[in-house]
Amino acid sequence: MTLKLPIYLDNNATTAVDPRVLEKMIPFFTEHFGNAASRNHPFGWSAEEAVEKARGQIAAAIGAVSKEIVITSGATESNNLAVLGVAEMYKEKGNHIITCVTEHKAVLDPCKHLEETGHYNVTWLEVDAEGMISLEALEKAITDKTILISIMHGNNEIGTLQPIEKIGQIAKKHGVIFHTDATQTVGRVAIDVEKMGIDLLSMSAHKIYGPKGIGALYVRRKSPRVKLSPIQFGGGHERGMRSGTLNVPGIVGFGEACEIAARDMATEIPRQLALRDRLYKKLAAHLEDIYLNGHPTERLPGNLNVSFAYVEGESLLMGIKDIAVSSGSACTSASLEPSYVLKALGASDEIAHSSIRFGIGRFTTEEEVDFTAERVIKEVNRLRELSPLYEMVKEGIDLKTVQWTGH
């Protein structure tokens, strides 16, 4: 088989729609185009039937039941609805939220917004060098005013998996609602909302080979029954929690994507783990001074985040332009700030500037991984020859002792 370039290794950003998913979606654009809320004709009935089937597929992927699935436009909306919806609904009960500094902006920013209103207090839990929160710190932070704990399952940048089940137990013990952003983990690692004690869970279709623009929020219906104030008002769809005509083709695709992911998980996890380890081992065998960012074992199967010391991330991306990956380097972000997630690990900014995230996915092959390793090794070596930092280290200079002229 010949290698097709460019290679896509950015599956933590988004994934290709699986052709099997697309196939299921197509009839719902043209043939079964009805509004799922139309109760008085067959067009509506077939749309509603498809939505309910998909809802069941989505629920099954996380061990929930259909009625607990609120369809949204994606995980950003799900996260906003969870945080803002709980804050509003339970404001008489309390005004304190606990989250963590490495959350996605779609959790951080609604929390910040609540804090800025002056009516809410937020505890921002720190993480250790591998991106894990401390369960002791979490439990200590809980007060009688705490209404929500929002801790993500798998981190989108560094892949670290938080101890969700233990967090669920702590939340339960103190009677606090537990929300988790599982955008990166649904369909990629096993999730069971019952076993893990999850009350709210955000998910997205496009990370699991489904279409963009569709997602869901799992909302627990019993023990406890979680209620949410809506953040979008209108026709009262989704049991009043999220108004708006349902995106039927998107939902059908999401359902199918969930079913395929759940079905293939047992073989897909070891396959991706093997590819990830193969890539890391090749890099580590040929390059000195490379660092794995995130947790060595408790991490997303397909995620590899590596810093290549003395080489700036964007320049490396430029050198491996046949390979689509991303970097925590400031130069690749709109804000010109290096990744806040990597900085939160306590690593130096330099490590953030030198980081590359490889996202292995369902369609990644061994050949692609081998090609990537070869290209990265070649380019890192070339750029190190160009790097004054590498030269200094080779001369025996400790970079920490140098007086830099920052700008």
397 touches another protein by CB under 8 A: no
**Are 134 and 103 a contacting pair, CB within 8 Å?**
no
Nearer to another protein, 19 or 388 (CB): 388
Per DSSP, the three-state class of 358 is strand
CB of 342 to another protein, least distance (A): 12
396 touches another protein by CB under 8 A: no
Per CB under 8 A, the list member of 16, 265, 284, 399 interacting with another protein is: 399
Scanning 120-128, 161-169, 218-226, 387-395 for contacts with another protein by CB under 8 A, the matching segment is: 387-395
Scanning 139-147, 273-281, 364-372, 380-388 for contacts with another protein by CB under 8 A, the matching segment is: 380-388
The total number of residues written for the chain in this structure: 407
Q: Is 379 exposed, middle or buried (0-12, 13-18, 19+ CB in 10 A)?
A: buried
Q: In Å, how far are 16, 172, 254 from 54, measured between CA atoms?
A: 19, 30, 7
CB of 380 to another protein, least distance (A): 12
Strand 96-100 relative to strand 177-181: parallel, antiparallel, unpaired? Answer: unpaired
Give the integer Cα–Cα distance in Å for 315 and 321. 10
Scanning 34-42, 355-363, 368-376, 398-406 for contacts with another protein by CB under 8 A, the matching segment is: 398-406
Per CB under 8 A, the list member of 350, 370, 375, 377 interacting with another protein is: 350
CB of 279 to another protein, least distance (A): 24
CB of 373 to another protein, least distance (A): 21
CA angle 59, 97, 223 (to 5 degrees): 40
Give the integer Cα–Cα distance in Å for 213 and 14. 11
72 touches another protein by CB under 8 A: no
Per CB under 8 A, the list member of 19, 118, 388, 396 interacting with another protein is: 388
* Closest to 186 (Cα-Cα) out of 166, 230, 216: 216
331 catalytic? Reply is: yes
Number of residues counted as binding another protein (CB under 8 A): 28
How are strands ordered across the β-sheet holding 215-219?
69-72, 215-219, 200-204, 177-181, 146-150, 96-100, 121-125
Nearer to another protein, 225 or 400 (CB): 400
CB of 139 to another protein, least distance (A): 34
Residues numbered 295 to 334 that lie near another protein (CB under 8 A) are 310-312, 314-315, 318-319, 329-331
Per DSSP, the three-state class of 117 is helix
Give the integer Cα–Cα distance in Å for 4 and 266. 27
The contact set with another protein (CB under 8 A) reads 310-312, 314-315, 318-319, 329-331, 336, 338, 348-350, 353, 385-391, 399, 404-407
Which residues form the catalytic set? Answer: 331
